Structure 1
Amino acid sequence: MSNLNELRELEAITKAKYDQQQQSFRRIQSEENRLRAELRKLDEMLLSSNNTDVRIGEMRAIGADVIWQGWVGRSKTELNLKLAQVLAIKEQQLQQVRQAFGKLQVAQQLITETNDDQRKKKGQSRLELAMDTALHRVKSD
Structure 2
Amino acid sequence: MQEDRIKALVEISALRFQADQARLAQLHAKERDLRKNLQDLVQQRNARVASVIKADDPATIAGADVQWHAWVDQRRKAINTELAQILAQKSDCLARVKRSFGQDQAAQQLLKKVQLTQRRPRYES
Q: Give the TM-score taking structure 1 as reference length.
A: 0.80
- Gaps of at least 5 residues in structure 1 are 133-141
Of all paired residues, the percent bearing the same amino acid is 29
Determine which structure has greater relative contact order: mean sequence separation of CA pairs < 8 Å that are 6+ residues apart, divided by chain length: 2
How big is the shift at 1:62? Answer: 3.0
Q: Give the TM-score taking structure 2 as reference length.
A: 0.90
Supply the distance in 2 between the matched residues of 1:40 and 1:118 (Cα, whole angstroms). 59
CA RMSD in angstroms, aligned pairs only: 1.5
- Gaps of at least 5 residues in structure 2 are none
Provide the residue aligned with 1:78 in structure 2. Answer: 78
Query: Comparing both structures, which one devotes a greater share of its residues to helix?
Result: 1
Supply the distance in 2 between the matched residues of 1:85 and 1:48 (Cα, whole angstroms). 29
Supply the distance in 1 between the matched residues of 2:43 and 2:62 (Cα, whole angstroms). 23
CA distances 1:66-123 after superposition (whole Å, capped 9, x unpaired): 1111011000000000000111111111111111111101000101111222233x2x
Structure 1 segments of 4 or more deviating over 4 A?
Answer: none
Provide the residue aligned with 2:96 in structure 1. Answer: 96
Give the alignment of 1:95-114 within 5 angstroms.
95-114=95-114
Q: Aligned pairs, how many?
A: 122
Larger radius of gyration: 1
2:36 is matched by which residue type in structure 1?
A: A
